[in-house]
Chains A and B, each alone.
Chain A
Amino acid sequence: MKRFATLLLAAAAIVAVPAMAQEISFTASDPLQLPRNGFFGAVAGVATDSKGHVFVYSRTGTPVATLGGARPFVRAGSVLTEFDQNGKYVRSVGQNLYGALAAAAVRVDRNDNVWIVDTYSGMVIKFDPQLRIAMMLGRKPESVEVPAQPNAGRAPAGAPAASGMQSDLFEGPTDVAWDNDGNIFVADGTGNARVAKFDRNGVFVKSWGSRGSGNDQFSTARSIAVDGAGNVYVADRGNNRIQVFDNNGTFKSSITTAGNPQAICVSPGAHQYLYASNSNPANDLDSGGEIYKLELNGTVVGRFGRAGRVLKEFNGVNAIDCRTANQLYVAEMGNWRVQKLNLQ
């Protein structure tokens, strides 16, 4: 039965991908220059600010656990790095940051504040433009479990995992976005399967979604974006769709024309576009990997790229920055790289 369901899902995925989407031609470069002996690891997030500075949140090592105490504590593993508009290194933050364990996302809001999302500390951290800490959402677990517990979602006592709890704590959060009023939307994520809304001051408003495949349900809430009208787009990876909600979390529609999305971005400006990456899984370079450019209603404008390791190929795209029209930055988990793309 389970196998049958998988087959159905696979069939749905094939149907969902338009066979004749127009190929968008593009160029690619690898412009970010780290200092000597500096390297990215799996790059989870990339985002630009209004000056064109580029922020990268990358896993740079494995979090380290202490041994010998009754409770093992864990630290380190990810670094946030800033580059100027020419790709020149500016600074790094993270080795001394309590919450930087396993990078999930970095986004820059319209006031140039820099937000990072960390999937294992379960924290969303807001920095001001000088990278001073301005606000925290969530809390890092005090210690880790022995043996490691599957990332199955925090739930109220007695409730099944990822059942849609109303809480301001996260489990495996993946992304953050804002509307024009500054309300905060957190995709939460891979452990939970929901969206949490906070007001501009970080006051918890509400949460929606649970694990499943119906409307208002997510396999994983893997990436999130908000358009100029305040609609919320959630990449429902595992269900081969992007769900669209109004500003209060009421389901509006599902976009099924962009494969199995792992990263999405809504561009600014009068005519907004939705970009979505049909990212390949880590063990497959021979299918998928392409990125779609869509109208906000889901109509495909075109597609570009494929899975692979060299420039113009993508391996596990986990973030897209689309602040500038037809100029994208993409972060790759599999190639440990950020590519800058110019679309024709």
Chain B
Amino acid sequence: MKHHLASAIAISLLAAIPASAQVAATVQNVPDMPYQAVPGFFHGIPAGDYLGEMQGIATNSKGHVFAFFRGPNTRLWEFDQTGKFVREIGKDFYGFMFAHSVRVDRHDNIWTVDEGTNVVTKFDPTGSKVLLVIGHHPDAAMGPIASPRGPNAPAEKYTLCRPTDVAWDMQDNIFISDGYCNNRVVKYDKDGRFLAQNGSEKVGKGDNEYNLPHGLQVDRAGNVYVADRGNARYVVLDNNLKWKTSYNNVGSAWSACISNGQHQYLFANNANPNGNPPGSWSRTGQIYKMELDGKVLGKFGNAGKLAPGFQVVHMFDCRDPDVIYTGEIESWRMQKFVLKGSK
């Protein structure tokens, strides 16, 4: 009976998850992976300057780390492989208004996803040239505009609506999770021409439906893994965006990361947002390591206001599956972790 009740509660949670709510993972008996934080790894930030809400964090092939965050303006900073601040990219750039994700493709091009301008921008590896712009920056208006009410406008091929993340397959096709006011995944070719979409502007919880697709990754075979945050599940699509399966046992599904290398792993992020009753942080916050087929291998980390706890991991990098960089939205913090013997 008690078990039955717990199931009923879990189902009602799945039915309507507020954007801020926590979701306890249902997977059982997951081993804790030993790990070590690297305190003070990031350094050399110019005196008097600050990070802000850390939305995106990504490494390139040389180990440089790119951080995309919401300061007074949205900003993109580059750190070297020792964690030392190198420079700012795109100060006051037209495509930066409200950061959401940064990712680095296999050619080391830097891609930013901005949910204020509704634009995904591809920079060259030095961050000095814009190579591609996807989406449409809203025109300025002479005065504030009220937030739209009512149903979302129909999804369009070349207009994004608060996009959240970007990824690529080995043919350099572009996949975008879109987003807060569309509820779909879009595939473009390498030059940005529309190929396919899965989902629509409408919110849903069935197959081929999403409730805030909040992040995505693509494996080497071209399969697409979508963090369907509002439905607390990871959706797996094939390369043509045909529905394959979903994993719904690892918590809130805020964002995803797939590691490099011959044996790729899927990391899942059960983030721990604010606005919850006492005690709720003890049940969430961890990052899960999984096989691509959904088998859960281990977990590490926990919610916490103070480092090395997580105060809401928004995006994270796992290029090397034993080295995890996290960007935390509510602590304005970046951290580096080394997983021990997890290979």
Are B128 and A62 within 8 A (Cβ)? no
Interface residues on B, range: 20 to 34
Are B136 and A39 closer than 8 Å at their CB atoms? Answer: no
Contact in complex: B133, A335 (CB < 8 Å): yes
Contact indicator per residue, chain A 40-75, by CB within 8 Å of chain B (1) or not (0)? 111000000000000000111111010000001010
Say yes or no for B215: interface residue by CB 8 A criterion: no
Q: Is B41 part of the binding interface, using a Cβ–Cβ cutoff of 8 Å? A: no
In the assembled complex, which residues on chain B have CB atoms less than 8 Å from the CB atom of A111?
none
Which residues of chain A are near B97, meaning CB under 8 Å? 62
B193 CB–A CB distance under 8 Å: yes
Q: Which residues of B contact A58 (CB under 8 A)?
A: 94
Residues A334 and B140 in contact, CB atoms below 8 Å apart = no
Which chain A residue has the least Cβ–Cβ distance from B87?
A: A37
* Closest chain B CB from A309 CB (angstroms): 4
Contact, CB under 8 Å: A60 / B94: yes
Q: Which residues of A contact B137 (CB under 8 A)?
A: 41-42, 59
Please name all residues of chain A whose beta carbon is closer than 8 Å to the beta carbon of B191 when the two chains form the complex.
Answer: 308-310, 313
* A65/B144 in contact, CB under 8 A: yes
Contact in complex: A285, B133 (CB < 8 Å):
no
Give the nearest-CB partner of B93 in chain A.
A39
Which of B21-29, B155-163, B204-212, B237-245 is the contact stretch? B155-163
B95 with A41: CB separation less than 8 A = yes
Cα distance, A283 to B191, chains bound together (Å): 16
Please measure, in the bound complex, the distance between the C-alpha atom of A261 and the C-alpha atom of B158, giving whole angstroms: 21
B307 an interface residue at 8 Å Cβ cutoff?
A: no
Of B90, B139, B157, B193, which is within 8 A of A102 by CB? B139
Instruction: Check if B322 is an interface residue, CB within 8 A of chain A.
Output: no
The listed residue (B133, B143, B157, B193) touching A283 by CB distance below 8 A is B157
A336: nearest chain-B partner, CB-CB: B133
The minimal Cβ–Cβ distance linking B136 to chain A, given in whole angstroms, is: 4
- Which of B93, B143, B146, B158 is A285 in contact with, Cβ under 8 Å? B158
- What is the distance, in angstroms, from B82's C-beta to the closest C-beta of chain A? 22
List 7 additional A-B contacts (Cβ < 8 Å) besides A40-B94, A41-B93, A284-B157: A41-B95, A41-B137, A144-B144, A147-B144, A148-B145, A151-B141, A285-B157
Task: In the A-B complex, list the 10 residue pairs whose CB atoms are closest, starting with the nearest.
Answer: A41-B94, A148-B143, A144-B143, A148-B141, A145-B143, A282-B136, A309-B192, A102-B140, A283-B156, A144-B142
